[in-house]
Structure 1
Amino acid sequence: MSISPELLLHGYSIGIFPMAEHRDDPEIFWVDPKRRGILPLDGFHISRSLARRMRRGGYQITIDRDFAGVLDGCADRTETWINAEIRSLYIALHRMGRAHSLEVWDGDRLIGGVYGVVLGAAYFGESMFSRRTDASKLALAYLVDRLRQGGFELFDTQFLTSHLASLGGIEIPRAAYQRRLASALEKSADFTAPPVPSAQDVIQRNTQTS
């Protein structure tokens, strides 16, 4: 393996992250965007339609129940930057307790999820996927709530997509990101401690400050 899990964590600590050109490309390169996507934890927007979907239920949220399944769900698309080495690296980080997933289930079927890396009070969101309408939005709503409850202060989304922008994501310059990263790395947070909340609790907590 050309990159070790330890080197990967060091990369995150200095503000860079790895990608591959496509799933069959054996090469990995480091990315350091000039403008970084983040989702301010006090700026997440739960829309009325998403709140209605959350209250309707019919889904289950779990933490770290199927990390590999989430990883594979994120890679299950025509174009992906997740090659075999990246997959192995993040599974290794998960076994080290440094990478975590949040899953959305319909019965025993995994319909959505998100995974990322934890260092200090920073959560580096890697990727998310959805096999049902709104499953990725459900995952993000419960993820943001978990990060807030667990004491995180930085949610790094790497890039800003229109989907993330609609939910409160913003772009900041590299230097501003580095300052936020340095501050978050000096603190501690816990991804696994908060219990999975009810939909109503998530809605209430994330509309009071939206």
Structure 2
Amino acid sequence: MSEKQIISKKDFLKPEYMIQLYAQGAFPMADENGVIEWYLPEIRTIIPLDNYNIPRSLRKFMEKSNFEYKYDEKILEVILNCANRPHTWISEELIEAYKKLIKLGYVHSVEVYENNELVGGLYGIAYRGAFFGESMFSKVSQASKCALVKLLERLNEKGFVLLDVQFQTEHLKMFGSVEISFDEYNELLFKAYTKKVSF
């Protein structure tokens, strides 16, 4: 996948600059030394909100499971769980930056609970009709997949246009993720920004 690094200055972790960069389709990642870079891939991966797939086995699992789902109740806890792995791009500095975006209402989470315990979830950045998915975690089987289903349902219910999932994975292919050109992606961004919707 072709990528071009576009910026790496600390000033661009200020909320106003972060949102400007997200709005252009860029996203931050910290390397193993904690240095945060912003990336703007030329090939984009999205899950089409008008043409996604929910695996039949997952549908059956969700019907029988005792999972409960909530939104934006424990955003920071979801981020910390996503970062809690041996190798992570979610550095302490990036977490501090996310805290500021949470206060401004740009960061959102889908949370999965079992017996009142947070067992899975995901988070991302919402800007007008675009949702930029960042990371997910799962402490029990299927929890993160269920969170993604709930995200897809929520975004459609609220009238979002774009779900950006950054990179293609086998996990995301199950849900109908596709790679598109940057030109196609920009067209979706434009449509998304004409929408006045909220998560």
* TM-score using structure 1 length: 0.87
Output the CA distance in 1 between the equivalents of 2:25 and 2:163. 13
Q: Distance in 1 between matches of 2:40 and 2:87?
A: 21
Which residue identity does 2:165 align to in structure 1?
T
SS in 2 for 1:164: helix
User: Which residue pairs with 1:16 in the alignment?
Assistant: 26
Q: Distance in 1 between matches of 2:175 and 2:156?
A: 16
How far has the Cα of 1:70 moved from its partner? 0.6
Q: Which residue of 1 aligns with 2:153?
A: 145
Give 2:121's match in structure 1, choosing from 113, 120, 127.
113
CA contact (8 A) 2:55 2:174 kept: no
After TM superposition, list the pairs within 5 Å mapping 1:1-210 onto structure 2.
2=11, 3-22=13-32, 25-191=33-199
Give the CA deviation at 1:75: 0.7
Counterpart of 2:166, as a letter, is: Q
Amino acid at match of 1:141: V
Unaligned runs of 5+ in 2: 1-9
Gaps of 5+ in 1: 192-210
Is the 1:67–1:91 Cα contact (8 Å) retained in structure 2? no
Q: Distance in 2 between matches of 1:57 and 1:134?
A: 10
CA shift, 1:146, in A, is 0.2
Alignment: residue pair count: 189
Secondary structure at the counterpart of residue 89 of structure 2: coil
How far is 1:11 from its partner? 0.1
- SS of match in other structure, 1:181: helix
Matches of 2:67 and 2:44 in 1, distance apart? 32
Instruction: Give the deviation of 1:57 after TM superposition.
Output: 2.6
- Distance in 1, matches of 2:169 and 2:85, equals 17
CA distance in structure 1 between the partners assigned to 2:168 and 2:161 by the alignment: 18
> Secondary structure of 2:121's match?
strand
In the superposition, the TM-score normalised over structure 2's length comes to: 0.91
Following superposition, the deviation at residue 131 of structure 1 comes to 1.0
The answer to whether the Cα contact below 8 Å between 2:48 and 2:162 also exists between their aligned partners in 1 is yes
Aligned to 2:6: none
Quick one: which amino acid aligns to residue 40 of structure 2? D
Instruction: Note the C-alpha offset of 1:138.
Output: 0.4
3-state SS, counterpart of residue 167 of structure 1:
coil
Q: Structure 2 CA distance, aligned partners of 1:179 and 1:42?
A: 15
Cα deviation for residue 26 of structure 1 reads 3.5
**Larger RCO (alpha carbons 8 Å, 6+ apart):** 1
